[in-house]
């Protein structure tokens, strides 16, 4: 459906994987997130439509939560022009003023894989289905069906954080962010959002999408501190201007309980458990040197000058 940029029609997709699994965010809950592959590479306008409809992107696929017994996860977005940093945000910016920020294409290195695994382990995000190997990293964070860039956060020459951003015509999607648990005091999750909002403002972008949020998920808590913001609730983007106006912040436990009692169709069909995933070849949990060295980068629309050199 190539008319998506003009008439708001979502790009055509097909389901390539569908299964039930334990939720990584809410203990005891069953997650279902059917993965759909676009039939053609997403245009910037097509990405805008999918984000507007609540889709998330992982690798070459997009998905929406279709969990059988829970509706806690809500897509979050920030109206870039309306955002004003708080005093806490300004302190985070000051605390990280020494960090260097680089933009470039997503890159696969052993150091990135190790940092990704340490981040997920530290935040309780690894499950029996989690990929830990370089192939898994490549499939999740390097491969993309959209126009995607990597934002690197460096402390001297040491990589301490990475964001993966998808670029739409009027939106930027934070597809994934991970950081070194050893520098947790820096609040890199918050700092990365602030710097990426600055990037969006400079580029004239309207919406910055933060992915999914759940009121009682510790790993996602930082996403709820941005006001004003909008959340997709029961198919409608709902704006929350202040913390005091947000029922999820006024009584998080009650909000979460209400989400847990929400039910829909248990399933459209039984998920196909056939082997859609590649075998795990290697578990990178240490911190070896990168097998690829990336030259310092300048923010630029044209990445043709970016290069990688083998060790």
Which of 24-28, 71-75, 101-105 is the least confident region?
24-28
Omega before 191 within 30 of 0, i.e. cis? no
Distance (Å, rounded) from C-alpha 141 to C-alpha 51?
A: 18
The predicted pLDDT at position 267 comes to: 32
CA 227 to chain centre: 19
CB 66: neighbour CB atoms within 10 A? 16
The answer to whether residue 297 is domain-embedded is no
The answer to whether residue 298 is domain-embedded is no
The answer to whether residue 308 is domain-embedded is no
Percentage of residues of the chain with pLDDT beyond 70: 79
With the CA atoms of 223, 225, 230 and 231 taken in that order, what torsion angle do they form, in degrees rounded to the nearest 10? Answer: 50
The answer to whether residue 254 is domain-embedded is yes
The mean pLDDT of 45-74, rounded to a whole number, is 94
pLDDT tens string 280-298:
234 444 444 443 333 333 3
Task: Report which secondary-structure segment, H or E, holds 122.
Answer: helix 110-122
Report the mean per-residue pLDDT for the chain. 81
Q: How confident is the model at residue 28 (pLDDT cuts 50, 70, 90)?
A: confident
The answer to whether residue 310 is domain-embedded is no
Going by the DSSP 8-state scheme, the letter that residue 131 receives in this structure is: -
In total, the chain counts a number of residues equal to 311
The answer to whether residue 208 is domain-embedded is yes
Question: Residue 311 half-sphere exposure, CB side, CA atoms within 13 Å?
Answer: 7
Q: What domain range includes position 162?
A: 4-292
The answer to whether residue 43 is domain-embedded is yes
How many domains are contained in the chain?
1
The answer to whether residue 299 is domain-embedded is no
Residue 199's domain is classified under what CATH number? 3.40.630.30
């Amino acid at each position: 459906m190539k008319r998506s940029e003009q008439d708001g029609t979502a790009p055509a997709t097909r389901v390539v994987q569908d299964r039930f699994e334990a939720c990584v965010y809410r203990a005891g809950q069953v997650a279902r997130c059917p993965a759909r592959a676009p039939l053609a590479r997403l245009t910037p306008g097509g990405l805008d439509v999918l984000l507007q409809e609540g889709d998330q992107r992982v690798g070459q696929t997009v998905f929406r939560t279709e969990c059988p017994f829970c509706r806690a996860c809500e897509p979050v977005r920030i109206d870039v022009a309306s955002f004003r940093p708080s005093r806490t945000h300004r302190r985070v910016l000051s605390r990280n003023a020494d960090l260097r920020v680089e933009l470039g294409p997503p890159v696969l290195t052993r150091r990135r894989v190790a940092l990704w695994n340490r981040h997920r382990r530290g935040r309780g995000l690894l499950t029996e289905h989690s990929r830990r190997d370089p192939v898994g990293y490549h499939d999740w964070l390097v491969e993309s069906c959209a126009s995607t860039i990597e934002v690197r956060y460096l402390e001297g020459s040491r990589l301490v954080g990475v964001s993966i951003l998808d670029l739409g015509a009027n939106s930027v999607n934070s597809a994934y962010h991970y950081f070194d648990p050893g520098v947790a005091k820096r609040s890199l999750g918050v700092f990365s959002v602030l710097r990426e909002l600055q990037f969006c403002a400079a580029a004239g972008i309207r919406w910055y999408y933060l992915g999914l949020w759940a009121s009682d998920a510790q790993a996602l808590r930082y996403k709820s501190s941005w006001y004003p913001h909008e959340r997709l609730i029961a198919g409608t983007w709902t704006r929350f201007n202040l913390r005091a106006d947000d029922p999820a912040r006024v009584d998080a436990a009650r909000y979460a309980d209400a989400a847990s009692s929400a039910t829909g169709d248990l399933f459209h069909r039984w998920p196909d458990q056939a082997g859609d995933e590649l075998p795990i070849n290697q578990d990178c949990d240490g911190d070896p040197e990168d097998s690829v060295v990336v030259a310092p980068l300048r923010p630029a629309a044209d990445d043709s000058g970016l290069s990688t050199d083998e060790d």
